Structure formats: C-alpha cells, structure tokens
Amino acid sequence: MRTLKYAILGLINRNSMTGYDLMKVFNLELVNFWYAKHSQIYPELKKLTDDGLITYETVLLGDKLEKKLYSITQEGRKDFLNWLAKQDQLEPTPKDIFRLKTFFIESMTREEMLKQFYYQLDQRKAKLKKLETSMSQHPYSKEISDIASPEYGDYIVLKGAIMREHTYIDWLKGCIKEIESFTKPHF
Ligand code: FER
C-alpha cells in the first residue's frame, strides 16, 4: 500500500497547498512520526494528479514565480475517506537495534551492559522532555477542545508518544536495577 499517497491526500484534503507547503508540513509536523524523503513527495504528487485524485491550478507567487496549487478532487476525497475507514491489521514490531542488542546481552560484560542501558536512558529522557515541552505548548491542550479539529489528531498522537516513552524508560530503569543488583562471581 502506498501510505505516502494517503499522507499527501490527507494534507491536501485539509487545505489546498503547493508542493512547497506540503513539504513544510511534512518537515514540521509529520516528521515527528512519519518520515518521508523529499524525493518521494514530488513524484507522488505527479502520480496523484495523473490518477485524477488531486488537481492543480497554476498561481503566480510574486511577480514571476509560478507555483502549482494542488487541491483534492471528489474522487481523491472518496479514496482518502475509504482508506481512513479501513481497519488495519497490526504491523510487525518495528525494528529496533537496541532491542536486538539486548537480546544478545549475554555477550556483554556487566560494565558494557550498564553503559548501553544508561546511554539509552539518557536519550529516552531527552526525547520525553522534548515531547512534554511540545505538549505544554500544544494548541489543543491550551485553547481548542473540539475533537473534530486537526489539532486533536496531533494531540492524541503526541499523548501516545509520551506514554510510550514513559514505558520505555520504566523498562530501561528496571533492567538497570536488575543488572546492578546481580552479583554473580564472573561479573
Ligand atoms: C507532535 C506529535 C507527535 C510531536 C511529536 C510527536 C514534537 C511524536 C510522535 C512519536 O514519537 O511517536 O506534535 O511534537
């Protein structure tokens, strides 16, 4: 499934925008949880246009610069809403290098284990702090309380991320505590 297709349709469904606007939203908002390469976005816009799911008008920006302003077509909106309504099966657990290393922990010394876990813990704490800062400034928690707003979607995604990081941190701390309390002679 071309998920990027739906990310783009979803954004254009909110507002008509140029490729540049779209890129900005990707870089500022979606990038938090949905990374896309710049090089993928323009070809996808072309495909969506060719398929009649979006259309564009050429607008003049300033004196000379022509830009394509994309809007969603009726067919595009139908496709997007169908995709939204579809129920998704769980995907396999995303790959995580640290988890794989953890699996092979028996080949590390106790010192290496702790070093690795403390480093992950530092990074996770920093990430959580960033997320919590975003939450404290989030427009939904401040002034909007309408679940039918784009801000609500971002807010609940962010809330989920904060909960996930708390759980991850608890797991790291639990492992550290266990490793530190373990005193087998060969350590
Ligand atoms: C945000 C929404 C989601 C945000 C971060 C996320 C920094 C992170 C999501 C994740 O890590 O799963 O507004 O702001």
Which runs of consecutive H residues, i.e. helices, occur in 29-149?
38-50, 74-85, 97-103, 110-136, 139-142
Calculate how far, in angstroms, residue 150's C-alpha sits from the geometric centre of ligand 1: 14
Q: Comparing 4-8, 25-29, 99-103, 158-162, which segment has the lowest mean pLDDT?
A: 25-29
Whole-angstrom distance, CA of residue 12 vs CA of residue 76: 10
Taking 80 as the threshold, does the pLDDT of residue 184 lie above it? no
More confident residue, 87 or 38: 87
Maximum CA pair distance of the chain? 77
Tens of pLDDT, residues 122-139: 999 999 999 999 999 999
Domain boundaries along the sequence of the chain: 3-85, 97-181
Of the candidate CATH numbers 3.40.50.10860, 3.40.50.300, 3.30.390.30, 1.10.10.10, the domain formed by 3-85 belongs to 1.10.10.10
**Distances, alpha carbon 172 to alpha carbons 129, 155, 168, in Å:** 16, 26, 6
- List strands edge to edge, sheet with 65-72: 17-18, 65-72, 54-61
Ligand 1 pocket (Cβ < 6 Å) reads 32-33, 131, 134, 154, 157-158, 161
Average pLDDT of span 154-173? 98
- Residue 16 · residue 70 · CB < 8 Å: yes
Ligand 1 pocket mutation, candidates 96, 124, 127, 131, criterion most atoms within 8 A of CB: 131
